[in-house]
A and B are shown apart, each in its own frame.
Chain A
């Protein structure tokens, strides 16, 4: 699935206009707990979260994630958007809740990864 597909599926607004929407997203992770996100390593991943602070972008950066989706129409301030833009991370805002957003992406074939064995 590409970032542009996520935008369509989640009826999302793109907050980082320069982002490359053709990038392929292989897996996704839904969490408000950044340490849990950091425990999970996958390439080309999207982070779905209700948490809006700059550490969300830092976490995505350390994990080489390419897309952040803020759920429930949460507002991301300029600090977040600028930080993400500098790091070529696409930031999206969807009106759906975390559960619904994750379910919709799953239904369209996107999967998690890094589950504890």
Chain B
């Protein structure tokens, strides 16, 4: 199946720019005429992932593949890794420092929100090596 590949590099230091990649993907999907609900779900999930990359991962790479009936997003960082993925998936569990909370994030909602808005989510993480998350958003055609 043919798809449109998109690639982004996320800076690990610039909180101001966090969300730029998600914004670009959102605009691209709008241009392509995708269903607004699917666009929003993909954009929110990717945005939460981008914020996580900046907060925890020291930046990283995002690969998006846009298919006619679904959107695959792979987000890979070389950060410290997630010690306990099950715990990280719980609403309210957070390891974010106070300065991140002051910016409106780090409430332990990032991964739960990603799970909520995607149709499938897989997390691979190795301590000291980094984390890669794979998510898929299905597109309903009306």
List residues of chain A with CB under 8 Å of any chain B CB. 32-36, 38-39, 41, 49, 51, 53-56, 58-59, 61-64, 79
8 A Cβ contacts from B13-28 to A: 15-16, 18-19, 22-23, 26
B23 CB contacts on chain A under 8 angstroms? 58, 61-62
The 9 A-B pairs with the shortest beta carbon distances in the complex, nearest first, are A35-B109, A58-B19, A34-B104, A62-B43, A35-B107, A51-B104, A62-B47, A62-B44, A33-B107
Give the one of B16, B44, B48, B104 with max A CB within 10 A.
B104
Beyond A35-B48, A39-B116, A61-B26, whether A55 also contacts B19 by CB under 8 A is yes
Beyond A32-B104, A62-B40, A62-B43, whether A38 also contacts B48 by CB under 8 A is yes
Does B110 touch A at the CB level, under 8 Å?
Answer: yes
A64 CB contacts on chain B under 8 angstroms? 36, 40
How would you classify the secondary structure of chain A's contact residues: helix, strand, loop or mixed?
helix
Beyond A34-B105, A35-B107, whether A55 also contacts B18 by CB under 8 A is yes
Q: Are A38 and B107 in contact (CB under 8 A)?
A: no
A3 CB to closest chain B CB, in angstroms? 20
Q: Mark B84-112, 1 if CB is under 8 A from A, else 0.
A: 00000000000000000001111111101
A59 CB to closest chain B CB, in angstroms? 8
